[in-house]
Amino acid sequence: MTDIPREEYILKCTSACAGCSDSLTLRYVLKAAGPETVLVVPACCTSVIQGIYPNTAMNIPVYNVAFAAAAACASGMSAAFQAAGRKTNVIVYAGDGGTVDIGIQALSGAFERGTDFLYICYDNEAYGNTGMQRSGATPAGARTTTTPGGKAQTKKDLDAIVAAHNPPYMATACASYPKDLFSKVQKALSIRGPKFIHVLSPCPPGWRYSSEKSVEMGKLAVRSGMWILYEREFGKVTINRPSKAAMIRPVPIEEYLEPQGRFKGISPEALAMLRSVAERNAERLKREEEGIC
């Protein structure tokens, strides 16, 4: 594997919160993509962390667009680059809300049409930009400002929805495993067609843990099996090493939940829901990896 390059495309003057793994993820994504890249960003925390006009913390062109529009906008941009014979990476960098909720129609359209682009959903499991309301990606039991008693529904299975479009490449990642994230972005960009990477992005103010713990939170998510690192290349599933290990010897889910204020006082029902979703995902991926679907 190539080493992660020193070049920085996201500069030191962002307005992200301390310990933000959205910006950490973006840092590795851009290192993998390099300068011949345009980022398409719908309304989300990433619209804010770039800083305020006429300044920008980004060293590549970033096209900010309306909340529901990112994947469709990227379709147009990708087609235009193709028409001009330009090999420029088009990467959508969107939050979970902009992906699983308001943006899902545009996402589905672009994947069905076979747009040549990479769609990255960084998932902090709520609407960060507007102050942490629930999203379709918020897990059961998590308190947000619109689910003050804890969310009653389970997290929407975004990966299954994307997989139903049968893209040539899709993967999950987490910035706590930077080399894994880096190489997945590189691999995705080497393939033509619609690619998808779903990145878990721990968020200190939203999940209510102290800001130095973001990398640890990502690792706990993987080790407890609450987040599974895997790839799906041309239909073939590979569960990545950290998650393989977690499947053999997982840390208890409680170790992941306990430091997070959003799960404080979680009901036994919600805890059972979290557990069953994690188990179901693991079983499904194991079956898929073995080729039994």
Partner 1 sequence: MLTVATGNKAVATAVKQACPSVVAAYPITPQTEIVEQIAEFVTSGELKSQYIPVESEHSAMAACIGASVTGVRTFTATSSHGLHYMHEMVNWAAGARLPIVMANVNRALGPGWNIWAEHTDAFQERDTGWLQVYVGSVQEAYDATLMAFRIAEHESVLLPVMVNLDGFLLSHSMHPLQTVEIGDFIPPIRLPHAIDTAHPMGYGTLTGPDQYFRLRWDIERSMRDSVGVIRETEREFAKRFGRRYDAVEEYRCEDAEVVVVAMGTLGKEAEVAVDLLREEGVPAGSMRIRWLRPFPRLDLSGRDVVAIDRDYSFGFGGVIARSLAATEGAKPFSVIAGLGGQEVTYDDIAGFVRSRRPGEEYWFGVMPDV
Ligand X SMILES: Cc1ncc(C[n+]2csc(CCOP(=O)(O)OP(=O)(O)O)c2C)c(N)n1
**Chain residues that interact with ligand SF4, rule: CB under 6 A:** 16-17, 20, 22, 45, 49, 124, 128, 203-206
Which helix (H) or strand (E) segment is 117 a member of? strand 117-123
The Cα 98–Cα 85 span in angstroms is: 30
Least gap, CB of 117 to ligand X (angstroms): 18
Site for partner 1 in 53-82 (CB under 8 A): 53, 64-68
Indicate whether 124 belongs to the interface with Mg ion (CB under 5 A): yes
43 forms part of the interface with partner 1 (CB under 8 A)? yes
Residue 127 contacts ligand X per CB under 6 A:
yes
Is residue 276 involved in binding partner 1 (CB under 8 A)? Answer: no
| Residue 47 in the binding site for partner 1 (CB under 8 A) | yes
Q: Which residues contact 186 (CB under 8 A, 6 or more apart)?
A: 2, 32
Please select the residue that binds partner 1; options are 55, 145, 166, 211, rule is CB under 8 A.
145
Closest approach, Cβ 241 to Mg ion, in A, equals 27
CA distance 218 to 277: 18
Residue 147 lies near partner 1 (rule: CB under 8 A):
yes
d(CA 96, CA 126): 7
* Shortest distance (Å) from residue 271 CB to partner 1: 19
Q: Which of ligand X, partner 1, ligand SF4, none binds 96 (CB below 5-8 Å, type-dependent)? A: ligand X
Q: Is 98 in the site for ligand X (CB under 6 A)?
A: yes
Residue 176, classed as helix, strand or coil, is coil
Our finding on whether 135 is near ligand X (CB under 6 A) is yes
Report yes or no: 103 and 42 within 8 Å, Cβ to Cβ.
yes
Q: What strand order describes the sheet that includes 230-233?
A: 62-64, 37-41, 89-95, 117-123, 194-200, 169-174, 230-233, 236-239
Report in angstroms how near the CB of residue 168 gets to partner 1 at its nearest: 27
* Rounded Cα gap, residues 156 and 135, in angstroms: 9
SS3 91: strand
* Residues in contact with partner 1 by the rule CB under 8 A: 43, 47, 53, 64-68, 100-102, 104, 127, 129-131, 133-134, 136, 145-149
